[in-house]
Amino acid sequence: MMMINRQTCGVVIIAIAIAAAFLSFNPVIKGGEDFTFVEATIDEIQAAFAENKLTSRQLVEFYITQIEKLNPRLKSVLEVNPDARNQADEADLARKRRSRDDQGRRSLGKLHGVPVLLKDTIATKDKLNTTAGSYALLGSVVGRDATVVERLRDAGAVILGKASLTEWYSFRSLGKIPNGWCARGGQAQNPYLPSGDPCGSSSGSSISVAANMVAVSLGSETHGSILCPADHNSVVGFKPTVGLTSRAGVIPVLPIHDTIGPISRTVSDAVYLLDLIVGFDPRDYEATSEAAKFIPVGGYKQFLNRDGLKGKRLGVVRNLFNSRNVSTIIPAFEHHLNTLRKSGATIVDNLEISNVGVISNPSKNGELTAMLAGFKTSVNDYLKDLVSSPVRSLADIIAFNQKNSVLENIKEYGQDTFITSEKTSGFGEKERKAVELMEKLSRDGIEKLMTKNKLDATVTPGTHIISVLAIGGYPGITVPAGYDSNGMPFGLCFGGLKGTEPKLIEVAYTFEQATLVRKQPPLSKSIGFTEENLFQKSTQSLRGVIEVNPYALHLADKVDRERKAKAPSSLLCLHGIPILVKDNIATKDKMNRTAGSFALLGSTVPRNAFVVTNLIEAGAIILGKASLSEWAHFRGAAPSGWCARSGQGKNPYVLSADPCGSSSGSTISVAANMAAVTLGTETDGSILCPSSYNSIVGIKPTVGLTSQDGVIPISPKQDTVG
């Protein structure tokens, strides 16, 4: 264990910035100046790619900057993918090759190079976690990507990160956990109205799209979990027919109702994403084989038709409406009905669904009974399939929560539904009758209503129809429709029978184009952050950091709790201090150790470097990996500060000046206040030279004073860590 004299702690801390307030530089990379990032659509992004006005790397940098600036307040993103920049670079390279090799004859696809955020229940076989917002699954390892993720990767999309959610889809304790809260991310906030309900459970996916923290996202829905948060955060949410998109690799609730769908700022973006993820999947055989018959030849984008409302019959089911801000929403709804009429639709008004009180109540319609048994069975199956996991059953999760009650806030929010679910014993006669009841209510309700009135779709304000769509596995799409007197968004929801996505797309797209109601949230103004300086920040490129540790916030929360529980005198001086380590120092976590080279990307180390173990035991936070001169200059005549993985590191004082190396990223990052302290390595000048050139303190210890264990070597008789 590393021993530190607290009286001389300030002497021991390495690489401290001398002048903290000097930074006023605005380094800018070329390209992207003519592109408007905020509210950019997929079509606009692809056009900018084609015209060489934008790169995927620049787009990713913009969204990561948005996340860094807005997420501390909105809390809608749990993790940023440390490989997102690399994926963007690969997309840019593929685009260049296509342009060179076939003169642009082949299209790379609508999502190629576009960042996508995933709900934290959708498995990714990479450095990201899949946890349903719970610490119980932190560190679990999935066997492979979810099928929808495989399809995104095959299309060249960039996996930007994992979105927050209502923990365990609210199912840990129905009615007690606030919408948008999870233990790992805290309470997510509606970007339009801080006191407003963000809804859930796909809260983070919706908030992040609304606040321009990502282009598009994927959510999941069992009962309103796409449609409701999309409605409340003024974005488009598309809930597909159950089985149209594969659920393989997604943490389940009730498989007969679970579905994966797009969340976006426009209908067209949602459709492009839907086209990519639909289709048969042998890993989700029964549901996807049944729904595959609904997929039209040529996909769904052909239904993005501005005349899509002509001849359509839309039903208004009045007995579904509730009283949320009727004074604002109902007049707006009536106005929108007139717009639908003017666009060619026939409105069949004042319809009623029989037994609507039963249908809208999960305790009466059979849904809760089915969920309680279905969740236990399906989540146990999911957990058993994991390569490794701290928990292997619902019972294990309950025990984890009890043991970590403060971490999971059990006292306030409980886990009553989990406990009730654990007491079930599979799908028996009671559960089968519950499913039969839902099927009967659907046949006698929405199906009978739509058939009798020859409807193409239903139209309702807000989220009134979600229960109807949930128990039948029906599709729905919500489109921004306005804002109430407090500024809280609401949408128009179009619902239909199974497989009617083409009609829903035509109706929703035409309505959207006729109204264009959506506006970006006022959040950027409230925090004094404009698109202009967002662009400056997104394009400034010191290239001092290769990866940010996805566990950093979790580690910070952990040491904060330790500080509250322990006497200050018992804590070492590095306790709670974020430290960046050079990318040749091993960390046994989600980060790479590559010496800046793609040759080692994805390699796995058996343990932390000895110096990292000492830092962790002292309570330091490993913030990420710093860039460097690739292979410590030993590869060949590369410039100081350059490596393949991150490009050319820049001196923060004079951008054209030599940053020196090889510990360039470690010193640049401290000088630019990107980290409190860092660790570098030296064989011949690799700490002292970049420290001098970047105006910080660097200490090169006597060789052997610090362990080289777990550090990529150059010459062990000269190597030292400092």
pLDDT digits (tens, 9 = 90+) for 479-500: 999 999 889 999 999 999 999 9
Per-domain boundaries in the chain: 6-25+541-721, 44-365+430-519, 369-429
How is 122-176 classified by DSSP, letter by letter?
A: B--SSSS---TT-GGGTT-B-SS--HHHHHHHHTT-EEEEEE--SGGGGTTSTTT
**Closest residue by Cα to residue 172 from 384, 405, 420, 2:** 420
Per the structure block, which two tokens stand in for 247? 């659920």
Q: Rounded to whole angstroms, how far apart are CA atoms 642 and 651?
A: 12
Per the structure block, which two tokens stand in for 701? 């210890």
Q: Rounded to whole angstroms, how far apart are CA atoms 543 and 547?
A: 10
pLDDT above 90 coverage of the chain, percent: 77
SS3 call for 497: coil
**Closest residue by Cα to residue 134 from 660, 604, 554:** 554
Residue 492 parent element (H or E)? strand 489-495
The domain 6-25+541-721 belongs to what CATH superfamily? Amidase signature (AS) domain (3.90.1300.10)
Q: Specify the amino acid at residue 338.
A: N
> Model confidence over 238-286: pLDDT tens digits?
999 999 999 999 999 999 999 999 999 999 999 999 999 999 999 999 9
Give the model's pLDDT for residue 4.
34
Task: Identify whether the C-beta of residue 409 lies closer than 8 Å to the C-beta of residue 184.
Answer: no
Give the model's pLDDT for residue 19.
29
Task: Identify whether the C-beta of residue 275 lies closer than 8 Å to the C-beta of residue 48.
Answer: no
> Model confidence over 520-553: pLDDT tens digits?
998 744 443 333 333 334 334 688 898 888 888 8
Backbone angles phi, psi at 57, to 5 degrees: -60, -45
Per the structure block, which two tokens stand in for 309? 């409302």
Q: Rounded to whole angstroms, how far apart are CA atoms 300 and 276?
A: 10
Q: Rounded to whole angstroms, how far apart are CA atoms 154 and 447?
A: 37
Residue 264 parent element (H or E)? strand 259-264
Cis preceding-peptide flag for 201 (omega within 30 of 0): yes
DSSP designation for 388: B
**Closest residue by Cα to residue 139 from 385, 386, 403:** 386
User: Residue 621's beta-bridge partner residues?
Assistant: 578
Q: Specify the amino acid at residue 72.
A: P
Give the rounded distance of the alpha carbon of 279 from its chain centre: 23
Residue 660's CB: how many other CB atoms inside 10 A? Answer: 24
Q: Rounded to whole angstroms, how far apart are CA atoms 122 and 205?
A: 12
Backbone angles phi, psi at 371, to 5 degrees: -65, -45
Q: Rounded to whole angstroms, how far apart are CA atoms 722 and 717?
A: 15
Per the structure block, which two tokens stand in for 580? 């960046």
Per the structure block, which two tokens stand in for 10? 């300030």
Q: Rounded to whole angstroms, how far apart are CA atoms 320 and 684?
A: 74
Q: Rounded to whole angstroms, how far apart are CA atoms 404 and 449?
A: 49
CB-side exposure of 613: number of CA atoms within 13 Å? 12
Rg from Cα positions in the chain: 27
Task: Identify whether the C-beta of residue 372 lies closer than 8 Å to the C-beta of residue 339.
Answer: no
**Closest residue by Cα to residue 711 from 551, 587, 549, 547:** 587
Q: Rounded to whole angstroms, how far apart are CA atoms 326 and 318?
A: 13
Q: C-alpha distances in angstroms, 50 versus 28, 47, 108, 275? A: 22, 5, 11, 21
Class of the domain covering 44-365+430-519: alpha beta
Task: Identify whether the C-beta of residue 413 lies closer than 8 Å to the C-beta of residue 172.
Answer: yes
Q: C-alpha distances in angstroms, 429 versus 426, 470, 649? A: 10, 22, 66
Per-residue b or e along 580-617, where b marks 16 or more CB atoms closer than 10 Å to that residue's CB: bbbbbbbbbbbbbbbbbbeebeeeebeebbbbbbbbbe
Task: Identify whether the C-beta of residue 267 lies closer than 8 Å to the C-beta of residue 509.
Answer: yes
Give the model's pLDDT for residue 526.
42
Give the rounded distance of the alpha carbon of 464 from its chain centre: 27
Give the model's pLDDT for residue 157.
99
CA dihedral 174, 176, 177, 179 (to 10 degrees): 80
Backbone angles phi, psi at 218, to 5 degrees: -115, 135
Per CATH, 6-25+541-721 and 44-365+430-519 having the same topology is answered: yes
Pairing of strands 259-264, 216-221: antiparallel
Backbone angles phi, psi at 132, to 5 degrees: 55, 25
Q: Rounded to whole angstroms, how far apart are CA atoms 150 and 142?
A: 13
Contacts 24+ apart (CB under 8 A), 601-606: 601/86, 601/645, 605/710
Task: Identify whether the C-beta of residue 288 lies closer than 8 Å to the C-beta of residue 243.
Answer: yes
Backbone angles phi, psi at 491, to 5 degrees: -125, 175
Q: C-alpha distances in angstroms, 495 versus 455, 473, 501? A: 10, 11, 9
| Residues carrying an active site annotation | 119, 201, 225
Task: Identify whether the C-beta of residue 661 lies closer than 8 Å to the C-beta of residue 638.
Answer: no
Q: Which residues of the chain, if any, have pLDDT below 50?
A: 1-30, 524-540
Per the structure block, which two tokens stand in for 554? 């979790």
Give the model's pLDDT for residue 498.
99
User: Residues with Cβ < 8 Å from 291, sequence gap 6 or more?
Assistant: 241, 242, 243, 244, 498, 499
